[in-house]
Amino acid sequence: MEKADLLLKVDEKYYPPQEIVEQAWIKDYESLYKQSIEDREGFYSKIAEELEWFQKWDKVLEWNYPYAKWFINGKTNITYNCIDRHVKNGKRNKVAFISIDEEGNEKKVTYGELLDLVSRLANGLKSLGIKKGDRVSIYMPNTVEAAIAMLACARIGAIHSVVFAGFSEGALKIRIDDAKAKAVITATYTKRRGKKIPLFPTVKEAIKDLDFVEKVILWDRDNELSEEYEEHNVVDFYKLIKNSSKDCPPEIQDAEDPLFILYTSGTTGKPKGVLHTTGGYMVNTYMTSKYVFDLKENDIYWCTADVGWITGHSYIVYGPLANGVTSIMMEGVPVYPHPGIWWEYVEKYGVNVFYTAPTAIRMLMRFGDEIPAKYDLSSLKVLGSVGEPINPEAWLWYYKNIGRGKAVIVDTWWQTETGAHMITTVPSYPAKPGKAGKPMFGIEVAVVDKQGNPMPPNQVGHLVIKNPWPSMLRTCWGEPERYEKYWNEIPGYYSAGDLAAIDEEGYIMVVGRADDVLSVAGHRIGTAEVESAIVENHAVTEAAVIGKPNEIKGESIKAFVILKEGYQPSEELKERIKDTVREVLGPIAVPDEIEFVDKLPKTRSGKIMRRLLKARELGLEIGDTSTLEE
């Protein structure tokens, strides 16, 4: 905990500029927070009333521990609130998305056009036999087409399951199979660093043995495929749009009807299908986008995440659209075609709110202050951070070189499971570098020991949430026991799986994961997932994976590998093992280091003690070894 102790000493406060406070939606966090806790249902109900419902709810919350229902009997459709509502209110010609590819080509889609495209695709999906409740996997580049695909599913009540396009065949297959998707929406390729990364061939391989997949809807980006590919149940994305009617009334969704499944890593090899439902998720992504980013009518907003992650779902698609702003979506990486590209676009489009991950900030820092200095970044007012703890050094760099001391930083802590921001400052009260801030409205958190007793201030313990909230996950797809585990680990509370500390002023610092989940470049990766990918290499009998602190990526992956009889350790074999992981899971999960060993430390019940491997690797105290087998 040395690093944590050091960070806890950082207690400097950065006050927001007066102009930001004066214009902020939330001027007095403390009093609204107090109100939101004293009358949680009243608070969320008022927010929900800002949106449109086909039928109003009779009751805000039904809490049947650990199962919650929000906005009971409320009927709505999230796409109606994200699109139709704005078109109806005079924003037909306002740009919803500016989607930029790696060459800098931009595609602007207005709210009116979005309504047209989403409705047509939704009708297209219906014509292919997809109906309410069916699952549709989406494996797409980070472009507006991905958002259109998600929204088209939501329009008809089909449950989307987006799979990050950086995952490879094995990871994709597990996710399509688990959700039993009836269709997959994909593209011929995505682009990274000027290179085309094929997607369609990966989908074809992944669904080879999955006969429940009836259709593939393909965005043929360069019109390079000949007509004949359509024979194999492949439908052209834009032809389907063109040939379908633009009149598609939104499906009347119950507040608790499923909206999407998003797979995320847990402590076992199999990812969990986190299920979010319609009403509560809509209300909370709307509220947090509005208050945390202080979104205003004319803001240009840019979240650099990929739609394949929860950040993309909540803060590229649903939250910003519910607020009716103009969003930028960019395909590619932060340093291509040059390491100033993000700042070039901030200047070009006059971005007001910018939301990214610490790993990207640390990477861009390395290129030097002169790069952002070349651009006019004076439009920025709120800078967000998400995905992993932001170290004070990166925080300060972001604050000085990007915000130029005139923008505030909101360090938002949340998870795939929480659906929306849970802990963060809001723009009107001071931030402390390295500390996320205070709980969002309606949210009560605590830092406790394993029995649930509160830790004294500044001491690290387990981060828990004490109450249900509207955008909480409702279950894990097909695995209710995994869902219940979140609420059973420390009885009475939702266990986030993170370690944190709270200071005397109530600012929360999130230190990192408490379990065997890694955070590599902000991506959540289970050690067990990587281990099972490694053992798919025929030379390997067993593997254990740990995370090591890494200056840029937060954590890097190290694997300890036991080879089968007859295989000799070699550098070449290490490379082949890495290739296996790349094929099974994707480039983000490839270990940086591999060490061949003869034995792995295990508990008497046979569980690998990764904690011991890590302590040895980092030269730390080994701690309690009473459960070690030998």
Closest contact distance (angstroms) between CB of 310 and ligand PRX is: 5
Give the Cα separation of 105 and 89 in Å (integer). Answer: 30
Output phi, psi for 451, to 5 deg.
Answer: -90, -5
- Least Å from the CB of residue 495 to ligand PRX: 10
Structure-block tokens of residue 181:
């998707």
CA–CA distance, 295 with 412 (Å, rounded to integer): 15
Q: Hey, is 88 helix, strand or coil?
A: helix
**What's the closest the beta carbon of residue 7 comes to ligand PRX, in angstroms?**
11
Dihedral angle over CA of 563, 567, 571, 573, nearest 10:
-80
Identify which of residues 216 and 545 has a Cβ nearer to ligand PRX in the complex. 545
Secondary structure, 3-state, 402-467: HCCCCCEEEEEECCCCCCCCCEECCCCCCEECCECEEECCCCCEEEECCCCCECCCCCCEEEEECC
Compare residues 124 and 266 and give the one whose CB is closer to ligand PRX: 266
Cβ-contact 169, 209 below 8 angstroms? no
Alpha helices by DSSP H, 226-277:
237-242
Beta carbon nearer to ligand PRX, 114 or 146: 146
Q: In whole angstroms, how close is the CB of 555 to ligand PRX at the nearest point?
A: 10
Question: Considering beta carbons, is residue 186 or 264 the nearer one to ligand PRX?
Answer: 264
User: Given the complex with ligand PRX, which of 125 and 508 has the nearer CB atom?
Assistant: 508
Residues near ligand PRX (CB under 6 A): 264, 310-311, 385-389, 411-416, 436, 496-498, 510, 513, 519, 524
Closest distance of CB 436 from ligand PRX, Å: 5
CB-CB contact of 319 with 281 (8 Å) = no
Neighbouring C-beta atoms of residue 546, cutoff 10 Å = 26
CB of 352 to ligand PRX, least distance (A): 21
Smallest distance from the beta carbon of 353 to ligand PRX, in angstroms? Answer: 16
User: CA-based Rg of the chain, rounded to a whole angstrom?
Assistant: 24
Shortest CB 457 distance to ligand PRX, Å: 19
The residue among 414 and 441 lying less far from ligand PRX, judged by its C-beta, is: 414
Residue 478 CB partners (closer than 8 Å, separation 6+): 178, 273
CB-wise, 213 or 322, nearer to ligand PRX? 322
With H, G, I as helix, E, B as strand and everything else as coil, classify residue 178: helix
Is the CB of 416 or the CB of 537 nearer to ligand PRX? 416
Cβ neighbour number for residue 179 with a 10 Å cutoff: 23
Position 539: which residue type?
A
Residue 295 or 514 having the CB closest to ligand PRX: 514
Nearest distance from C-beta of residue 418 to ligand PRX, angstroms: 8
Least distance from ligand PRX to the Cβ atom of residue 502, Å: 14
Distance, in Å, from the CA atom of 579 to the CA atom of 586, rounded to the nearest integer, reads 9
Kindly state the smallest distance separating residue 509's Cβ from ligand PRX, in Å. Answer: 8
* Between 412 and 537, CB nearer to ligand PRX: 412
Q: How far apart, in whole angstroms, are the C-alpha atoms of residue 238 and residue 121?
A: 8
CA-closest candidate to residue 395, choices 406, 378, 408: 408
From residue 455, alpha-carbon distances to 2, 452, 461, 499, 500 in Å are 18, 9, 6, 11, 10
Q: Which is nearer to ligand PRX, 331 or 388 (CB)?
A: 388
Considering only CA atoms, which of 494, 356, 481, 359 is closest in space to residue 422?
Answer: 494
